[in-house]
Amino acid sequence: MPRGVRVRVPPSAPLRSREFGTFFFEHKIKNDMNVIRQEIDALNGLLIVEINATDYSQKVKNTLEKHRKTANIPGFRPGHTPAGIIEKRYGKAVLAETLNTLANEGVYGFIRENALDILGNAIPSATHAMEGSFDQPGTFKFTYEIGMAPTFDYQSVLTKGIEYHTVRVDDNLVSQQIEDIQRRYGKMISVDEAGPKDLMVGTFTELEADGTVKPEGISHSTTLSIEFIENSDAKQSLIGKKLGDQFSLDPSTVSKDDADKASLLGLTPETLPSNEVAFEFKITDIKRMELAELTADLFAKLFQDGEITDEAGLRARVSKDLEQMFERDADRLMTRKVYDALINDVKMTFPEPFLKRWIKLSATTPIADEDIEKEFEAYLKSLKWQLIQTKIFKDSDTKLVYEEVLAFTKGLLISNYAQYGIPAPEDAELEASARELLTKKEQANSIYDQLAEEKLTQYFKTNASLKMKPLSYDDFLAEMKK
């Protein structure tokens, strides 16, 4: 084969249900070109493309004639170069290019027509060289390796049982939510004595060893949120302090880490003094959030058209909203548990040597074998989930059609507007925005993934054996963080 010319790898075939032939299976693609499938084992095989002169000779002749009409060869007028010279100069390269095209057509056509469920692409064989001569063209044979997708069962995992956690929405949780609403619509006031949820405004001042103020030492005004101080002793020591109080306070006890401590002192983590440096703190103001009263004015701000008019109605509405919110969270948690169960319990065997070669040949930049080995387990996990998801979608006849994706995208946009308290635009403008978003590859992929996950979640809720397990709010949060 001429230097620099190689047989291209054909594009990947779509994942389809598997159909094995016999050990050798011969398939005529077009004219006299044959593709022979040789099954090595359940996961590996070869596709041998046999290309005869009758398949390529006329194509080569036509391409060379085009070259002859446009070639600019010294000593000959354009279009009048003898065919023999054109063939001598371009013949082998044109033949190689024609064979590339035919081999690709043969392999891809065979995969498509026989619905082979392959992984990745067919790749040139590492052990079978091309057969045929470019000096004396006749019959050529090209051999490709293919890796087959494994067969597997996921239904048994779903029927074993998956925990579905729900949140018990009790009076205490509803009261907490209502207090949060009152805080959001409340107002800050100054008070004389600090309470457990107040903001304490004051100044840290660096001291000498004898307790006097250090000249030109650190001095910085800051705000302490008593509610979120993690050190219980430090928090308790601040509760009950009064406006104007001045006392020794270690900033380390009221900060989460060095970065937080540096922020309190107006420094950077690199310039923090040692913990032996003493500070005093002087209170200059104490701020308290005065909760909004549960009045008709507040209900009108929260709800339209007089939907809620009293505290009882508010509690019922908050309870319902919490249940809906927690159901979405419970669905996400359930989907994660199903994913873990399927990844851990569904058994699959992969043609690993083939996949490693395919990864190496498909990489857009050179990749070392050790790098492939380092990432291979993560790659197999991702591939395993892709195969499971594809099979679930096929078995359940689940599709992602554009009209549905468009409607889903419009819903996402409406939610985004609502998050910032902005009314959604008219439908025509909303649809135009959604269509524009779906033309952007990265955003479109994310939206398709979100819709696919939503469909999977609904499939799992319908088809998995769910074990209902109510939890308290705190226990549910702990489960989410696992």
What is the tally of helices (H) and strands (E) in the chain? 14, 12
Same domain, 327 and 427: yes
pLDDT in tens, 63-101: 999 988 888 888 888 778 888 888 889 999 999 999 999
Same domain, 142 and 226: no
| Residue 13 pLDDT > 70 | no
**Pick from 73, 86, 103: nearest CA to 5:** 103
Q: What is the mean pLDDT of residues 311-335?
A: 93
Q: What is the mean pLDDT of residues 199-222?
A: 95
Q: Which of 17-21, 195-199, 239-243 has the lowest mean pLDDT?
A: 17-21
| Residue 6 pLDDT > 50 | no
**59: in domain:** yes
* Percentage of residues of the chain with pLDDT beyond 90: 79
**Pick from 64, 30, 54: nearest CA to 140:** 54
pLDDT at 4 (0 to 100): 31
Count of structural domains, the chain: 3
Report the distance separating Cα 385 and Cα 393, nearest Å: 12
| Residue 143 pLDDT > 60 | yes
| Final residue belonging to a domain, choices 290, 316, 338 | 290
Q: In this structure, what DSSP letter does residue 242 have?
A: B
Per-residue pLDDT band at 25 (split at 50, 70, 90): very low
Same domain, 48 and 70: yes
pLDDT at 155 (0 to 100): 95
Sequence-ordered alpha helix ranges (H) in 290-398:
296-302, 311-345, 352-362, 369-395
Same domain, 198 and 277: yes
Report the distance separating Cα 475 and Cα 329, nearest Å: 13
Q: Tell me the pTM.
A: 0.71
**248: in domain:** yes
Q: Which residue has the higher pLDDT, 43 or 82?
A: 43
3-state secondary structure 317-330: HHHHHHHHHHHHHH
Report the distance separating Cα 413 and Cα 407, nearest Å: 10
DSSP secondary structure of 64-105: HHHHHHH---TTS-TT-S-HHHHHHHHHHHHHHHHHHHHHHH
**207: in domain:** yes
Determine contact, residues 70/78, Cβ cutoff 8 Å. yes
Same domain, 191 and 286: yes
| Residue 22 pLDDT > 80 | no
**Pick from 178, 422, 471: nearest CA to 317:** 178
Count CB atoms within 10 A of the CB of residue 65. Answer: 11
Determine contact, residues 115/138, Cβ cutoff 8 Å. no
**368: in domain:** no
Return the CATH number at 219: 3.10.50.30
Same domain, 66 and 140: yes
Same domain, 124 and 197: no
**334: in domain:** yes
Same domain, 315 and 450: yes
User: Is beta strand 140-148 parallel, antiparallel or unpaired with respect to 466-471?
Assistant: unpaired
Give me the domain span that covers residue 427.
300-347+396-481
CA 273 to chain centre: 42
pLDDT in tens, 340-395: 999 999 999 999 999 999 999 998 899 999 999 999 999 999 999 999 999 999 99
Per-residue pLDDT band at 32 (split at 50, 70, 90): low
pLDDT at 79 (0 to 100): 78
Same domain, 128 and 260: no
pLDDT in tens, 95-129: 999 999 999 999 999 999 999 999 999 999 999 99
Same domain, 61 and 103: yes
pLDDT at 30 (0 to 100): 46
**335: in domain:** yes
Same domain, 86 and 124: yes
| Final residue belonging to a domain, choices 97, 127, 148 | 148
pLDDT at 75 (0 to 100): 81
φ, ψ dihedrals at 185, nearest 5°: -105, 10
Q: Which residue has the higher pLDDT, 275 or 296?
A: 296
| Residue 415 pLDDT > 60 | yes
pLDDT in tens, 148-188: 999 999 999 999 999 999 999 999 999 999 999 999 999 99
| Final residue belonging to a domain, choices 243, 259, 290 | 290
**157: in domain:** no
**18: in domain:** no
* Percentage of residues of the chain with pLDDT beyond 70: 93
Return the CATH number at 92: 3.30.70.1050
Same domain, 322 and 462: yes
| Residue 288 pLDDT > 60 | yes
